[in-house]
Structure 1
């Protein structure tokens, strides 16, 4: 089982936030965040857990006590659930490869003004 500080750091990185950005978002001072992330003991969260979870987009139960998944899957679309399920069995290196492919695909879709398969907004309409 991971310690609270490890989960907090993972959640913060998942949200692509620095400690300073998380501090700005939650109103909790950066040194407090650093202290919580680096605790050596096994604490089951802190009084700030709900704020951290909201800011990072993760489950409060997971952040507090590692109950359930990091992301509440009932908030995810079906394709996203499938992707998360598959990626959870991959190594971190493989996961980053997938992330880079998705980012490249997304960038390409934006460049072509496409938001979904078969739906290419203005370019197609004005064709």
Structure 2
């Protein structure tokens, strides 16, 4: 993608070589939310990303956000409310507490990560 990852863009903001105006940050946030909405509500089967972080959000030439890197993603059967894993996966700081404690993940774990990504997007703190 032309503008790289959200992580790289925020590094450039910190370096002072890029300015992300609030409308652009809002657009990025809405794009991430739309991507998660698709994965959780419209994809069959439901997809839990499990590794949402600024490094896995790519920005095109218009700063439209694209959720990427589905290496840890899991598909949930239509009747399942959660899945269980034998180990916690993902970047520390973005992992939902309930996932860390119980090894059960749901779409709510992605929502927790989304809030963490939003905090990083707003503060530009990596």
Please give the TM-score of this superposition, normalised by the length of structure 1.
0.27
Normalized per residue, the structure richer in strand is 2
Normalized per residue, the structure richer in helix is 1
Please give the TM-score of this superposition, normalised by the length of structure 2.
0.28
Greater C-alpha Rg:
1
